[in-house]
Amino acid sequence: MGKYTELDLDTEIIGKRIFHFDELSSTNNFSRELVEKGAEEGTVVVADEQTMGKGRKERTWYSPRGGLWFSIILYPNFIQTDRSILLTMAASISTAESINALADVEGKIKWPNDVLIGKKKVCGILTEMEADVDEIHHAIIGIGLNVNNELNQDLEEKATTLLKETGRNLSGEDVLRAILGNFEDLYFRLKNRGTRQIKKRWSDLSAIHQKEVLVEKGSKKIQGKVEGIDDRGRLVLRSEAGEHSIMTGDVEIL
């Protein structure tokens, strides 16, 4: 326990309870254990260092000291399973808005869940959940933000940190406080069935809005211009063949 437990938040549920560890294997994994023990909605788990940080597609996520590695526990049974991407979007929007305000950078979102500064990734989000066809039982939103940490050699080319971008050490507590506040606002909007704000703020922050992209979905590739996102958080592309709504995939800007 330590610094992150006294954030003095003015949120209603998100971050009301914060677990802070010096070291954990993965904040997502620990959150999963907490869910099994009946943790309250909005519980946050932060670790200064993760020894087995997880990324998307079973990749590892390099998580040394100096970065902000945390997870938020949610029970969003009001969101249908095929709209779960909206939760990830709420997280990427809150992160981008927070770093843009606090570090004066131009963080942009690459759908669905990366935050980039220029062409380099500063934040990744891993949402893990348990759901059946029409209801999400729990969701764990894991956010990894490169703040003051070092990057390893493999990452230097494609990733960046807030320290590198600004030349300043930002306080992890300030960044976390801002993200949790912004996230709660969007989460409550989703709870009230509101997707308008998410769609609008996503378009404002999107690195790919109105751009020509190539989306790789398994063995399928679709090229088109990004028109926006729909009410389910799907990416809407227009190609010569017509309109496509895409739920998941890897996006390359052409």
Determine contact, residues 55/126, Cβ cutoff 8 Å.
Answer: yes
DSSP-assigned letter for residue 21 = E
Scan residues 171-230 and list those touching ligand BTN (CB under 6 A).
none
Residue 55 lies near ligand BTN (rule: CB under 6 A): yes
For ligand BTN, the closer of residues 145 and 224 by Cβ is: 145
Q: Among 220, 226, 180, which Cα is nearest to 72's?
A: 180
Cβ-based neighbours of 3, under 8 Å, separated by 6 or more: 20, 172, 173
Q: Which stretch binds ligand BTN (CB under 6 A): 7-15, 136-144, 163-171, 178-186?
A: 136-144
SS3 annotation, 157-187: CCECCHHHHHCCCCCHHHHHHHHHHHHHHHH
Residue number with the smallest Cβ distance to ligand BTN: 124
Residue 124 lies near ligand BTN (rule: CB under 6 A): yes
Task: Identify the residue among 4, 15, 19, 28 touching ligand BTN (CB under 6 A).
Answer: 28
Q: Among 156, 130, 160, 140, which Cα is nearest to 148's?
A: 160
Residue 30 lies near ligand BTN (rule: CB under 6 A): no
For ligand BTN, the closer of residues 125 and 176 by Cβ is: 125
Residue 69 lies near ligand BTN (rule: CB under 6 A): yes
d(CA 135, CA 131): 6
Task: Identify the residue among 4, 19, 61, 187 touching ligand BTN (CB under 6 A).
Answer: 61
Binding site for ligand BTN (CB under 6 A): 26-28, 50, 53-56, 59, 61, 63, 69-71, 114, 124-126, 142-144
